[in-house]
Structure 1
Amino acid sequence: MRKSKQENRDDAAKAISLTMKRLMTNMRLLLEAELESDGMTLAQLRMLNAVHEESDISSAELARTCYITPQSMQSLVVRAEREGWIKRSPSPRNRRILTTVLTPKGKKAYERAIELWAVLSHDMWAETKLEQMQELNAVLSAAVDRLQPRLDDLHQRQSAKRKSA
């Protein structure tokens, strides 16, 4: 029996999703292995990236930015502070909140990690033409945009659930 056009689209969507999952899993495994030699985890790199993007950020804001719990972020922050990658100090707006900035050592660790990521990314896309990369990015960005309202709704439900607990 021949498949309908919709069934073919569904099969193609499933194949793309599985390939994207393999791509992200492989990239993550390779990046984690590279970062391990510098004593860094991927979660720490995400945190350092967030601090790099927005200096003087609180741990709560970091947790939201990195999509992890405040408790998990706290352990990342404590370790990063112990490693000398970040410095925390009271916020000028609210002395009870500690804000986080990268130290020179943290900036160097962050730049090294980004360099490792860039090498893997370069190797991954080496045989792909720029136009293909741009088209793929546009297609994936549109897919992400279509899912964003559902993700926003999920975050709101989770936040409401935490507040009521």
Structure 2
Amino acid sequence: MERLGLVLKRAEQALIAEKTRVLQESHLTVPQYAVLLVLLHTPKASAAQLARACLVTPQTMATVLSNLEGKGLIERAGSPLHQRVRVAQLTTKGTDLVRRADPAVLAVERRLAAAFTADEREAFTEHLERAIATLTPRQHRDGPTHQPGGEQP
């Protein structure tokens, strides 16, 4: 019998690989796309907020933001609430790009969802949520659950 964790990891890798493939035309990585999508729905966010929403480390987010800023897709400015915090927001170029890229990623999500009946999707989601709850320490369960990309992985 195959280990459940390995099956979950293979499914995640297959999903990320397919998203990576469809994002090539937009010259975006999956983490870059995720940040742009979060910023599309949350116009200004700090690096810490984005790291939590995109499920990456603060160090990874710093690199992603630097790359997006270098491409002219986001701009960062000081927060009006906290002197030491900088917030990111989309540029017009970033908004246009994420709106063009999103349909391809949504198509991947829909293709995955279509492999299951409505009842299977509901049960699958419930099982994954139970796995998350089982493996997540209580103090971390109250964090953000937003997943970029619509019907999400």
TM-score by length of 2: 0.76
Selected match of 2:30 from 27, 42, 45: 42
Q: Which residue of 2 aligns with 1:117?
A: 105
Counterpart code for 2:28: M
Q: After the TM superposition, which residues 7-156 of structure 1 pair with which residues of structure 2 at under 5 Å, given as runs?
A: 11=1, 14=3, 16-149=4-137, 152=140
Structure 2 SS opposite 1:89: strand
Counterpart code for 2:58: P
Q: Once the 2 structures are TM-superposed, how far is the Cα of residue 67 of structure 1 from its aligned partner? A: 4.1
Asked if the contact 2:23–2:105 (Cα under 8 Å) also holds between the matched residues in 1, the reply is: no
Q: Once the 2 structures are TM-superposed, how far is the Cα of residue 63 of structure 1 from its aligned partner? A: 3.1
Structure 2 SS opposite 1:22: helix
Task: With a CA cutoff of 8 Å and minimum separation of 6, indicate the structure with the bigger relative contact order.
Answer: 2
Asked if the contact 2:46–2:88 (Cα under 8 Å) also holds between the matched residues in 1, the reply is: yes
CA RMSD of aligned residues (A): 2.5
Identity %: 26
Counterpart code for 2:140: D
The separation in 2 between residues aligned to 1:90 and 1:83, in whole angstroms, is: 20
Q: Once the 2 structures are TM-superposed, how far is the Cα of residue 27 of structure 1 from its aligned partner? A: 1.3
> Is the deviation greater in 129-138 or in 67-76?
67-76
Q: Which structure has the highest helix share of the two? A: 1
- Runs (5+) with no aligned partner, structure 2: 142-153
Q: Based on CA coordinates, which of the two structures has the bigger radius of gyration?
A: 1
TM-score by length of 1: 0.71
Runs of 4+ off more than 6 Å: none
Structure 2 SS opposite 1:92: coil
Deviations 1:73-115 (A, max 9, x none): 2221122112222121111112332111122322222233332
